[in-house]
Amino acid sequence: MALELVTAGESHGPALVAIVTGLSAGLVLDRDAVNADLRRRQQGYGRSPRQQIETDEVDVLAGLRHGRTLGTPLALVVANKDHRNWAWGMSPWPPEGEPAGKGKEPVTLPRPGHADLAGAMKYGLADVRDALERASARHTAVVVAAGAVAKALLAAIEIEVAGAPHDEEDLQRRIDDARAERDTAGGFVEVRARGVPPGLGSYATRDDRLDARLAAALMGIQAVKGVEVGDGFALAQLRGSQAHDEIVEGFVRETNRAGGIEAGVSNGEEIVVRAAMKPLPTLMKPLASVDLQTGEPGEALVERSDVAAVEALAVVAEAAVAFELARAAREKFGGDALGDFVGAWRAYLERIPWRRTR
Ligand code: EPS
């Protein structure tokens, strides 16, 4: 069975939910490790005061017994503590009593760059909140929880995945400047995966290609507008003799411009992918908008938001890449039971002339 992730949850609803299917049975999960990743995601420069309300922790409702996966769907939950302030406004059922707390008034001034306008038109919404709550990057908490599970599976076959902001020495200054001007900032993140053997993904069909899958996983994260694999865009301006990674004795490479993927297949070098994040669309000094109800010009919705979330994106991107690599590894090595998965990986390493170098 394929490793798959389905999520649900609104930013100020009761909770975020993830269901992971296709996990091998017998994988030991460490609650502290999952919670540590959730904490990492909440940190970082430029986050909103919302992070002082939330202290994200994972709960497991199904698929785990005494800390070991059962090979059945794993149900993960991260509660939204802030929901108590939105109990009327975000009540899943028709709310009882007088309107109280946050979210009482409909939002009708869509923010440029957010899901507001497209969502209102697509789904026929009178209150933009019905779109923005799901589109919110709050959702990424549960992606990180699922990613932590994927990292545990990858660790069994000695693959490590790590994300970090990229080329952002001036990130704090850019965030400070943006905040001072009641504006927002974006940036770049990079994810590296070590120990990935050759042969994950395939050139056989578009959907098999590991680079396409990683790009889709990264573009699936809120605010990501660009992705590159290895030297990516820079390769377009090089000659072939400068762009490719020569094969030397031992079937290894001395350079890694391809970012560990050739023809949609991992080649045994470190996998390197980068994502570009746009500045967040909720500005304290709002951009022009038009009221959906009246058609009159106005200013876009202003609500509590982050100034930047680049460091958080690094953690989320790490989780998304880990999940996709785990999916590709399960396809390659099978393994209803964890021992079968690891056994198939070992047998494969015996067959191929790859020796891990990076
Ligand atoms: C978000 C807006 C802010 C962020 C939120 C994403 O939420 P609020 O409006 O409640 O302050 O803090 O991110 C998180 C809560 C989180 O955990 O990452 C948005 O509009 O996308």
Q: Could you report the per-residue pLDDT of 161-197, keeping only the tens digit for each?
A: 999 999 787 899 999 999 999 999 999 999 999 999 9
The 3-state DSSP class for residue 7 equals strand
Give the pLDDT score at 357. 66
**106 with 126: CB under 8 angstroms?**
yes
DSSP at 28: B
- Assess whether the C-beta atom of 130 lies below 6 angstroms from ligand 1: no
Q: Which residues, in sequence order, are bridge partners of residue 190?
A: 164, 274
Ligand 1 contact via 303 beta carbon (within 6 Å)? yes
The pLDDT assigned to 358 comes to 55
How far, in Å, from the CA of 354 to the mean position of ligand 1? 44
CA of 304 to the centre of ligand 1 (A): 8
Task: Please name the residues in contact with 248: beta carbons below 8 A apart, sequence gap of 6 or more.
Answer: 254
Query: Of ligand 1's atoms, which has the minimum distance to the CA of residue 312?
Result: 18
Give the start-end residues of each E strand in 152-310: 160-165, 187-194, 224-229, 247-248, 252-253, 261-262, 265-266, 271-277, 288-290, 297-299
DSSP letter at 272 equals E
Q: Residue 282's pLDDT is what? A: 93
Q: In sequence order, what are the residues at sequence separation of 6 or more whose Cβ sits closer than 8 angstroms to the Cβ of residue 325?
A: 150, 154, 159, 161, 193, 196, 200, 271
pLDDT of residue 144: 98
DSSP 235-262: HTTS-HHHHS--EETTTEES--TTTTEE
Report the pLDDT value the prediction gives residue 167, as an integer from 0 to 100: 76
Cβ of residue 141 lying under 6 Å from some atom of ligand 1: yes
What's the predicted TM-score (pTM) here?
Answer: 0.97
Q: Is 43 in the pocket of ligand 1 (CB under 6 A)?
A: no
Question: Is any atom of ligand 1 closer than 6 Å to the C-beta of 304?
Answer: yes
Dihedral (CA of 339, 344, 349, 351) sign:
positive
Ligand 1 pocket residue status of 80, Cβ below 6 Å: no
The alpha carbon of 211 and the centre of ligand 1 are apart by a number of angstroms equal to 29
261 alpha-carbon distance from chain centroid: 20
Helix (H, G, I), strand (E, B) or coil at 317: helix
Below-70 pLDDT ranges, the chain: 357-358
Retrieve residue 70's tokens. Answer: 């059962």
Residue among 161, 165, 166 at smallest CA distance from 43: 165
Ligand 1: residue of 305, 315, 316 to mutate (most ligand atoms within 8 A of CB) is 305
- In this prediction, residue 303 carries a pLDDT of 86
